[in-house]
């Protein structure tokens, strides 16, 4: 009985020490955060789009098209 418990204990440590699944989950989480940040930036640019474009044009001295 003691040998079976010891084998189970060692097997559990092997599974828990394997970080392969954690690295995959970490990569997915980083990608998800990146998508959320990109969506937030795009939403802000959509709201302020005309103002940002006009500001950039004035900074570079480009006359407006209208």
Q: What is the DSSP string of 4-60?
A: HHHHHHHHHHHHHH--HHHHHHHHHHHHHHHHHHHHHHHHHHHHHHHHHHHHHHHHH
pTM for the whole structure: 0.47
* Residue 30: inside a domain: yes
pLDDT (mean) for 36-65? 84
Question: Binning pLDDT at 50, 70 and 90, where does residue 55 land?
Answer: confident
Which is more confident, 10 or 34?
Answer: 34
Residues in the chain, overall count = 66
Q: Which residue shows structure tokens 């302020």?
A: 48
* Residue 49: inside a domain: yes
* Residue 12: inside a domain: yes
Which is more confident, 48 or 29?
Answer: 29
Q: Is the pLDDT of residue 35 over 90?
A: yes
Q: Is the pLDDT of residue 32 over 80?
A: yes
Structural domains in the chain (count): 1
DSSP 61: T
Q: Which domain holds residue 35?
A: 2-60
């Amino acid at each position: 009985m003691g040998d079976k418990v010891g084998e189970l204990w060692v097997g559990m440590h092997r599974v828990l020490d394997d970080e392969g699944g954690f690295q995959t989950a970490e990569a997915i989480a980083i990608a998800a955060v990146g998508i959320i940040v990109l969506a937030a930036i795009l939403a802000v640019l959509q709201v302020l789009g005309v103002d940002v474009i006009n500001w950039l044009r004035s900074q570079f001295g480009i006359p407006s098209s209208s």
